[in-house]
Amino acid sequence: MDINNLWSRGTEFLGTKYAIMAGAMSWVSEHNLVSAISNAGGFGVLACGSMNNDLLRKEIQLTKQMTRKPFGVNLITLHPDIENLAKVCVEEKVSHVVLAGGLPKASYMLILKEAGIKIMCFAPALSLAKRLIKLGADALIIEGMEAGGHIGPVTTGVLAQEILPNITEVPVFVAGGIGRGEMIANYLLMGASGCQLGTKFVCAHECIAHPNFKQAFINASARDAIVSTQLDPEFAVIPVRSLSNKGTDEFLEAQRLAIEKYKSGALSKPEAQLEIEHFWAGALRRAVIEGDVDRGSVMAGQSVGMVDKEQSASEIVEELVAQAEYSLLSFTKVLA
């Protein structure tokens, strides 16, 4: 059973040797790591996050200086200037754009489509997957709650079973909790066109993350990657998976204090909600760039337990491919 046949739809869509995408991680997925992954035969994706137009343009240009291979740009649908960011992608001749964070609007999708840019969207349910295809998505990514950062409520395995057998119109890539090639092989056998991994690439040599941040990944086990806790149903907390640390405990206390202030009349409900939401402001940068892994936000997926050393991006990609190929070979022998 040839892996090249199994993920041929994915490699053709991405224009890559391997249908292995890199998840876009804010402050992590910049030009150094993205170009290294693409040069290794995978598909790097720049994390636009809260970048402005000039910074995104600079990152795209720097990436192009370091690789001639395809790469994508991840745009957050809630970004207030997303239409202009989409225009930057058009002007810089980006081949693929990944839209994340919510249901995209036709206005900027049209800007991208008219320029011939391939659009990938996250589908957290089968009904939304069908709707996204009607809106013009050229490919889908299904990401389970095992992933790092902002997550949904459903596991990768359940989403794969729900969506892969029912969506054949466009390529579907699976993400969330993938740390070895054997799992990539399994999802390919289920009908996926490829897979996306984020946590695995944090400890690449080419990743600019602070040594403390990388060491936190190497030291962590799967159960250390927990979801942010919401104390009161009246005050929403966006679910984020990260490594448990002092900041996690302090966030619980910050919620408690804000709720107490609201109940005592010291704060209005919107003010208390804002106080809770502002707790993590800048926390991801503090962890990734400054190395404050005690009180910063160390976003990581549950596959962090399978990260045990620093490697080059090419070593990571080749190791994943070798594991997937060996798994498929073993499967073929069993069938024979």
For residue 331, pLDDT over 90 is answered with no
Residue 116 lies in a domain: yes
Residues 268 and 177 in one domain: no
- How confident is the model over 260-287, as a mean pLDDT? 93
What is the reported pLDDT for 185?
A: 98
**Segment (H or E) for 130:** helix 126-135
Do residues 98 and 120 lie in contact, with contact meaning Cβ atoms separated by under 8 Å? yes
At 281 the pLDDT is 82
| One domain, residues 84 and 31 | yes
Could you tell me how far CA 219 lies from the centroid of its own chain?
Answer: 21
Report residue 50's pLDDT band, with 50, 70 and 90 as the boundaries: confident
Domain residues for the domain of 293 are 221-299
Q: What is the mean pLDDT of residues 112-125?
A: 97
Q: Are residues 116 and 177 in the same domain?
A: yes
In sign, the C-alpha dihedral spanning 302, 223, 287, 255 is positive
Looking at residue 241, its pLDDT comes to 97
Residue 83: the pLDDT is: 96
Residues 197 and 119 reside in one and the same domain: yes
DSSP bridge partners of 143: 175
Query: What whole-number distance in Å separates Cα of residue 294 and Cα of residue 98?
Result: 31
User: Burial of 334 by CB count in 10 Å (0-12 exposed, 13-18 middle, 19+ buried)?
Assistant: exposed
Decide if 216 is inside a domain: no
pLDDT at 211 over 80: yes
Mean pLDDT across 141-147: 98
Q: Is the pTM of this model over 0.75?
A: yes
* Residue 271 resides in a domain: yes
Using CA atoms, how far residue 218 sits from 159, 199, 256, 292, 311, in Å, is 28, 11, 32, 16, 12
| DSSP3 helix / strand / coil % (the chain, rounded to 5) | 50, 15, 40
Residue 152: count other Cβ atoms within 10 Å of its Cβ. 16
Structural domain count of the chain: 2
| Residue 166: DSSP 8-state | T
Residues 256 and 155 in one domain: no
What is the CATH classification number for the domain harbouring 154? Answer: 3.20.20.70
**Residue-level pLDDT at 332:** 81
**What pLDDT sits at residue 271?**
94
CB 185 within 8 A of CB 324: yes
Question: What percent of the chain is modeled with pLDDT above 90?
Answer: 94
State whether 33 and 125 are in the same domain: yes
Model confidence at 253, pLDDT cuts 50, 70, 90, reads very high
Q: What is the mean pLDDT of residues 254-266?
A: 95
Q: Is 293 within a domain?
A: yes
Please tell me the distance from the alpha carbon of residue 200 to that of residue 189, in angstroms, as a whole number: 22
Same domain, 227 and 128: no
Examine residue 214 and state whether it is found in any structural domain, yes or no. Answer: no
Region 188-212 average pLDDT? 98
Would 53 be classed as within a structural domain?
yes
Q: Is the pLDDT of residue 165 over 90?
A: yes
Query: 67 and 36, same structural domain?
Result: yes
Same domain, 176 and 228: no
User: In what helix (H) or strand (E) does residue 195 lie, and over which residues does it extend?
Assistant: strand 194-197
* Domain shared by 295 and 316, yes or no: no
User: Is 226 inside any structural domain?
Assistant: yes
Kindly indicate the confidence band of residue 278, based on its pLDDT and cuts at 50, 70 and 90: confident
Q: Same domain for 205 and 251?
A: no
User: Is the residue at 215 inside a domain?
Assistant: no
Is residue 187 located within the same domain as residue 291? no
